[in-house]
Amino acid sequence: MTPTSRRLVVASHNPGKVREISALLGPLGITPVSAGELGLPEPEETEPTFVGNAVLKARAAGLASGEAALADDSGLEAFGIGGAPGIYSARWAGPGKDFRLAMQRVWDELQASGATDLSARFVCVLALIDAAGAVETFEGEVRGSLVWPPRGDKGFGYDPMFVPDGHALTFGEMDPVQKQPLTHRAKAFAQLVDRLR
C-alpha cells in the first residue's frame, strides 16, 4: 500500500512530531501536511492500546481529508509504575500540553511508589491508511532509564528525562541529528519506509 499522491496527511497537531516525521519521509519524496495545517479536528483517543489509537487517528484524518493519512500513537512507559503513563502520556501534560508537569508527575509517582526501577521505554505505533480505507501498522521502541532533574532543552515531551540505553545524554540534550536514528519513531518509520519502497 502506498499513498496515491506524494502527499500524506499526518494526523498530528504537534509541531515537534511533524518535524521529525517530515525528516523521516523526506528521502521518499513524500510531502507531509499536518492535520493542524489543514484545520482537521483532533479525535478523542478512546482506545486502550497504542495500536488502537493510531488507527483511530489515521481513520479520522483520512476520512476528513479524503487523502492517505498517517498517524502515530506514542508514549513513555515507566516500568517502576506499571508502565504508566503509557497511552496517557500526552494527557498527563494537561490541556496546555505542559510536559514539565507531566515529567514531574512521572517522577512524583515513582517516588510515591518507592520504586527503585527507573527503566523505561518509548513506544511508537504508526498507522497508515490509504484512500480506500486499508490500514497497516508498524511498531518501534527504544529502551532506557529515567533521570531527575530533567536535562536539556532539545526535543519535546519526556525527552529531557529519558536516557537511551548505551548513552549518557538524555534525548533532551542530544542534537536532533544524533537523537533521530535512536528513537522509537525512527524504528517504526524504518519499517514503514521499507513498506513504501
Q: Which sequence positions are flagged as catalytic?
A: 73
DSSP E strands in 79-167: the ranges are 84-85, 119-129, 135-146, 162-164
Nearest alpha-carbon partner for 105 in 97, 113, 116, 93: 93
Contact 152, 196 (CB under 8 A): no
Q: Which residues, at least 6 apart from 20, have a Cβ–Cβ distance to it below 8 Å?
A: 180, 183, 185
72 to each of 57, 111, 114, 174, how far by Cα in Å?
8, 30, 32, 22
